[in-house]
Amino acid sequence: MPPRLALPVIEAAFPRQLHTYWPQLQEKTRSWLLQKRLMPADKVEEHVDGLRYTDLMAGYYIGAPDEVLQAIADYSAWFFVWDDRHDRDIVHGRSAAWRRLRSALHTALDSPGDHLHHRDALVAGFADSVLRLYSFLSPAWNARFARHFHAVIEAYDQEFRNRTEGVVPTVEEYLALRRLTFAHWIWTDLLEPSAGCELPDEVRKNPAYRRPALLSQEFAAWYNDLCSLPKELAGNEVHNLGISLIRHDGLTLEEATEEMRRRIENCISEFLVAEQEGLRFADDLADGTVRGKELSAAVRDCLGNMRNWFSSVYWFHHESGRYMVDSWEDRSTPPYVNNEAAGEK
């Protein structure tokens, strides 16, 4: 891998794991994408396995029941397809189409059962995946998930406007928006059905739990920015930590890359400290009651998967064709998207 992307601390201190269900996961998510018409058959055949979307989830939610992991992996694959549609709508100036999609996703999030046969395959696929995710825990968890994803949709709308208008957010504005466009709290919410335990607010919002959760997501978002910087510069993007550093802090590309690496490495170091605080918090929850034992075990499971996120994200970015921009015929147009299918010329 390029030296600018290598992080020896991840390779040494964060052993890579993969859920035992992964082979079936890959096959079933591929079939789900075809069944839901989320990607053309030729693109699925040529690219999906190489994109390694299921590897990312199978390396994160270790210990999840198979049906939970399958629902998460399908939802994650949908998320990548949605991200690509969003990008193509921006590139081709389809503002009205984006507004329709944005509205439909908000509505489907609140009543997924009513949108399983929506005429837009992206909305129908979203409804299917959300309805399955809603089946694992309580209505309160579902409402929290919905609240968090409504905010993600609005953040994508903000990104649409920024890119359409050529607005590069400041570093602080970008970091706040990135927590939403990367869906930090969605992936964190999904730790709970994976652990088979819904966490009460006093546990979930405790800094000893929330801090390592945030750091694991910040690492993923910033490392994604580091790896996708060449792709996004080629595509005239405005949403990348490196681009904000160049535009607003006056850094060169080389200096911005070094600053991104510094932030990423600090994030890893801070997580290792926060992880220990989280484990002490888990110990304290084991107060001799059955409920205390259950919560302690669930927090430990969640912390373990926060740790797994580091290695899963790291290796995904080196193995997925999504970031191999130098091998693309057109550096600004990913080969796994289909312009003609979207009515483009």
Active-site positions? Answer: 79-80, 182, 322
In sign, the C-alpha dihedral spanning 239, 332, 309, 266 is negative
- Decide if 140 contacts 159 (C-beta within 8 A): no
Cα atoms found within 13 Å of the Cα of residue 241, Cβ hemisphere only: 28
Work out the burial of residue 261: count CB atoms within 10 Å of its CB; fewer than 13 is exposed, 13-18 middle, 19 or more buried: middle
Burial of 168-182, coded b for 16+ CB within 10 Å and e otherwise, reads: bbebeebbebbbbbb
Token pair in block for residue 329: 């015929």
Q: Which two tokens stand for residue 233?
A: 């510069």
Radius of gyration of the chain (CA): 20
CA distance 334 to 323: 9
Q: Cβ contacts of residue 284 below 8 Å, gap of 6+?
A: none
The residue assigned the tokens 């193509």 is 88
Q: Please tell me the distance from the alpha carbon of residue 296 to that of residue 265, in angstroms, as a whole number.
A: 29
Given a contact cutoff of 8 angstroms between Cβ atoms, the answer to whether 295 and 1 are in contact is no
CA dist., res. 317 & res. 227, Å (int): 7
Give me 166's structure tokens. 């050529």
Map residue 336 onto helix, strand or coil. coil
Q: Which two tokens stand for residue 4?
A: 């600018």
